[in-house]
Structure 1
Amino acid sequence: MESIMMQDDSVLSWNTAMLLYNSALKEMGTKIEILNDEFQHVHQYNPIEYVKTRLKSPESIVKKLKRYGYEDSIQNMIEYCNDIAGVRIVCSFTSDIYRLADMIGRQSDITVLSIKDYIKNPKPSGYKSYHMIVTIPIFLSDRMVDTKVEIQIRTIAMDFWASLEHKIYYKFEGHAPAYISHDLQECSKIVSELDEKMLMLNEAILKAKEEQEKKEAEEK
C-alpha cells in the first residue's frame, strides 16, 4: 500500500486515510453487487442474503494499536490495522461462501493478502467465518493507493451466533463465565449441524426440480 504522506496537520492525515478506507468500502460494495447480479443472471440464484459495511472507530483503532504494542500513529494504523474497512457478506449456505471467496479473489484489480478459514478451523470459542484481507486500488486526483479491506463471509446461522457472542462478551468485557462460554461452544456445534442440513436440503430441492423439469420435457 502506498504510504499516505504525513502532513503537519494530523487531522488532515487522518481525514485522508479515512477517505481512502471509505472509498474502498464503496468500491468493494459495487464489486460484490455486480458479482451477485452476474451469479443470479447465470445461475438464477442469489447467493447473498445481505451485505454490511463498517469503518472502525478512532477509539477502536487506538485501542487495537496499543494492545499490540504500537504507537497510535497514522502510519502504524495503515500498516498494522487490517480491519479498519470491513465488509461482511452473509450467505444462505456454506457452499456459497467458498464460491464468493473464489469470485472475489479472481478479480484482476484485487490483491488477496491473507486468508483465514475459521469454518474449517473454528476459533476455540466456536466462532466460524471466512476472512480475507485484500487490497483494492483507490484512484485519487494525483495518485493511486492500494487500500486494505477485511472481508468476512458467513452463513445466516454463523452471523447470528457471532452477533450473540459479541453482545455477551461486550457485557462481560471479554470475561464471560465459563458456563456461558461452554454453552456458546455447544450452540456453535448446533449452528454447524443446521448449516449442513440446510445445504443438504437445498441440494435435494435442486435435484428434485431438475428431475421434474426433465420429466416435463420428456412428456411434451
Structure 2
Amino acid sequence: MFLKRITLLHEQIPFYRDYPFSIPIIKNFEELNLKSNVTFFVGENGSGKSTLLEAIADKCGFHTAGGSRNNQYEVHASESPLTKYIRLAWLPKVTNGFFLRAETFYHFASHIDSVEASYAYGGRSLHEQSHGESFLSLFLHRFHGKAIYLLDEPEAALSPSRQLTFLKILHDLTKNDECQFIIATHSPILLGCPDATILSFDNENIEEIKYEMTNHYQLTKNFLQNRERYLSELLREE
C-alpha cells in the first residue's frame, strides 16, 4: 500500500451548499484510512463515490479524463472541484499510476493515437479494438508494479467473463504488495475480490461493508434466484 489516508479540509471550505458539498456524503466526510491493496467504493449513482475518486486522481496529478501524470491533453471541465479541499497521506509516496474513467476513455485513446504510443498498449490502436479489448489492453500492458491505480467503473466495457479476467489481473498485481487499487464499481463480480475492503457510499457516512451485505450482491443474487417473480412485479401493468 502507498496511499494511507484521505482527509477533507473542512476549515478551508467556504460554502457547503455548493457542489460537491451538496452531496451529503462529501459534506459529512472527515477522514478515510485505507487498509487494503484493493479498496472498492460502492453506492448508487450520485452518491459521491466517483466525485471522491476523481479528486484523489486530480490530487495525484493524473489526468481526470484518464491517464497518468505524463498524459496531458485538452478536455473540457477536467479539473475536480474537490481537489483543493483534500489531503493525501502516503507511506511511501509514489508518482506512478493511472486514472481510468470509463465514460471518457475515448478521449484518452485518441490522445494515445495522437502521440503514437500504441506500442505501449499491445501494439494496436485502442480505437481499433473493441471497448472491452481496449480496456484489457490497458490493464495487461500499462499496469505494473510500484503504482497506484484509480478506476471509475472499469466493468462498463467488460463482459462477465472479461470481468473475471480482470479480477485475475487485479489479484496478480496486488498479491506481492506491488500495486494499490481504488475502484468505484457496481459489479458484484469485481466486488468478490479476496481481501478487498468495500466502502459503501449509500448512507450519509462512508461505511465499511461485507461483500454479502452490498446491495449489488443481494439484488443480483435475489434476481437470479427469483427472476420470474422480479419480472412479474417489475413489468406488471397498473
Fold conserved between structures, TM > 0.5: no
TM-score, structure 2 normalization: 0.24
Which has the higher relative contact order, 1 or 2, with Cα contacts under 8 A spaced 6 or more apart?
2
Structure with greater helix share of residues: 1
Higher Cα Rg, which structure:
1
TM-score, length-scaled by structure 1:
0.25
